[in-house]
Amino acid sequence: MVKFAGYLLLGIPLLAAAESDWDLLQKAAQAGRHQALSGSYTHHVDDELETFRLYRAQDGGVVRERRESMDGMPRELVRDDNELTCYAPDAKALGAAKVNAIKLFPAILPERSQDLRPAYVLSRGKLDRVARRDCQWLLLTPKEANLRYGLKVCVDAASTLPLKAVTHDAKGAVIEQFAFSDLTLGNPKDRALLRPRFKHSLALGAAVSAPQEVVSADFEIHGMPAGFRLLRYATRQLPGHDSPVSHFVYTDGLAKLSLFIESGKGEADSRPVVIGPGGLGLASRRLGNQVLTVVGDLPEQGLENMINTVRVIKK
């Protein structure tokens, strides 16, 4: 009886309590991308805290949104359906906009929540309150401890919109955090809020990348961690490299990994794992005549395991 009364008191629909956790997560993923809203949210990573103002409208299934950083260098990110464009008052600010245009909170969950099943266990946490709205915590815990980061998301009781998202390590230490501070659901009344204020622009391409069927890659990749699938492949000429580098991008729905393969001569180019800002890590090792470098959203042990188990076969 106490549990029943608690749900009524917090306004959590009883139907949601009986709903499959994976179904609820799928609804949260859709709301994170499509729910019309106006609001402010904070992005906290390491010792840096940034605030964004977000406006999003939906017309006939087409989503348009504009988010603007309220701190530091002025910059905007405009999404028109699935196309992203950075705007800024000058070239320097535009460069900062490009760097900070990667994570589009509240769209922090994959379109298909089922893609997370191979590597994560989903459970419900406690009821909570964010931006004056009742919400339910959903916990994504890696099946292999210490090899990936965990994610917990507080989902709005009324709309299933993610109100807060926390990436953490195996000990619970926070790696990265997003949270709404104020929120109004529905299309913005003033559509001018969806239009960029700045004139300098840079097209970034698709907001959501579809997995790519690779038929022309020079290598076959084996031994990737469970759940990772290929997003895209390209051959690039990187600064400071004598020969082109093969670049594979993988994701498990939450974490993203870049695998670089280049011809290596001379002494070994292996380097220990280095974890940088926001939990982003790097590791490299020599494999025969190739040098492999991995950059991605994995903790130290996860990157170390991957760089030591991945196998590359020249076609």
Boundaries of domain holding 304? 219-314
Q: Residue 26 pLDDT > 70, yes or no?
A: yes
212, part of any domain? no
**Phi and psi dihedrals of 289, rounded to 5?**
-90, 10
SS3 for 28?
A: helix
Share of the chain above pLDDT 90, in %: 55
211, part of any domain? no
- Dist CA 142 CA 121 (whole Å): 6
pLDDT at 97: 67
104-128 average pLDDT score: 94
pLDDT at 103: 81
12, part of any domain? yes
pLDDT at 196: 94
> Does 76 share its domain with 174?
yes
pLDDT at 44: 94
Residue type, 229: R
pLDDT at 82: 85
Using alpha carbons, list the distances in angstroms from residue 241 to 262, 264, 268.
Answer: 9, 10, 16
214, part of any domain? no
pLDDT at 219: 83
> Does 173 share its domain with 104?
yes
Sorting pLDDT into bands at 50, 70 and 90, what band is 9?
Answer: very low
Task: Name, in order, each residue with C-beta under 8 angstroms of 193's C-beta and a sequence gap of 6 or more.
Answer: 38, 55, 66
CATH of the domain at 281: 3.30.200.100
pLDDT at 5: 39
> Does 294 share its domain with 159?
no
Among the three residues 148, 181, 206, which one is the final residue of a domain in this structure?
206
pLDDT at 13: 46
Among the three residues 163, 183, 206, which one is the final residue of a domain in this structure?
206
Task: Name, in order, each residue with C-beta under 8 angstroms of 88's C-beta and a sequence gap of 6 or more.
Answer: 73, 74, 75, 76, 94, 96, 97, 198, 200
Q: What is the mean pLDDT of the chain?
A: 86
- The 10s digit of each residue's pLDDT in 261-292 is 988 654 556 677 788 777 889 998 888 888 89
> Does 255 share its domain with 281?
yes
> Does 171 share its domain with 235?
no
CATH of the domain at 8: 2.50.20.10
How many structural domains does the chain have?
2
> Does 225 share its domain with 196?
no
